[in-house]
């Protein structure tokens, strides 16, 4: 990713949480051809109040940044517009660091299969027939003492 590509992409924060990508696009379309407009959402599908806008030309992005920074949206909100940081996975050193981290990550242990007295494979101790019987005996003993 070159420095020009970085300067074409803007980071926008301070957006209202009910803001849509269409509204974000309408905000910036007056400054030039917008290639991409995205709202960042949480894992629950809610807006995080941030987004990205990518322009075709660097000049359009610079103009949009200078004019839209600290612009009032609604009564009580003003947006912050800045150049977006590059994605670390797009750089060679970022890819290398990611691959090293994956290689260092310990392997998951294989799950042990348990077999019961009849040789049947069971998932856990709780599915064993004898375990349930023991629990039943304890419960029966406790209820007899109460009566």
The reply to whether 127 and 83 lie within a common domain is: no
Assigned domain for 125 exists: yes
The reply to whether 32 and 69 lie within a common domain is: yes
pLDDT attached to residue 124: 55
Assigned domain for 121 exists: yes
Assigned domain for 32 exists: yes
Assigned domain for 127 exists: yes
Q: Which range of residues forms the domain containing residue 120?
A: 114-146
pLDDT attached to residue 101: 86
Query: Is the Cβ–Cβ distance between 63 and 57 less than 8 Å?
Result: no
SS3 state of residue 77:
strand
Summarised one tens digit per residue, pLDDT across range 17-72 is 988 999 999 999 999 999 989 999 988 888 899 999 999 999 999 999 999 999 88
DSSP assignment letter at 69: T
Summarised one tens digit per residue, pLDDT across range 70-116 is 988 877 889 999 998 877 777 888 888 888 888 887 766 655 555 65
């Amino acid at each position: 990713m070159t420095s020009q590509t970085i300067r074409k992409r803007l980071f926008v924060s301070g957006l209202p949480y009910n803001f849509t990508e269409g509204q974000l696009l309408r905000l910036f379309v007056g400054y030039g051809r917008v290639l991409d407009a995205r709202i960042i959402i949480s894992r629950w599908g809610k807006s995080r109040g941030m987004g990205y806008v990518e322009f075709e030309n660097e000049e359009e992005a610079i103009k949009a940044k200078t004019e839209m920074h600290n612009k009032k949206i609604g009564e009580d909100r003003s947006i912050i517009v800045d150049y977006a940081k590059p994605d670390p996975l797009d750089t060679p050193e970022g890819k290398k660091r990611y691959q090293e981290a994956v290689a260092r990550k310990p392997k998951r242990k294989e799950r042990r299969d348990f077999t019961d007295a009849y040789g049947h494979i069971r998932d856990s101790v709780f599915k064993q027939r004898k375990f349930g019987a023991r629990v039943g005996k304890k419960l029966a003993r406790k209820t007899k003492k109460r009566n």
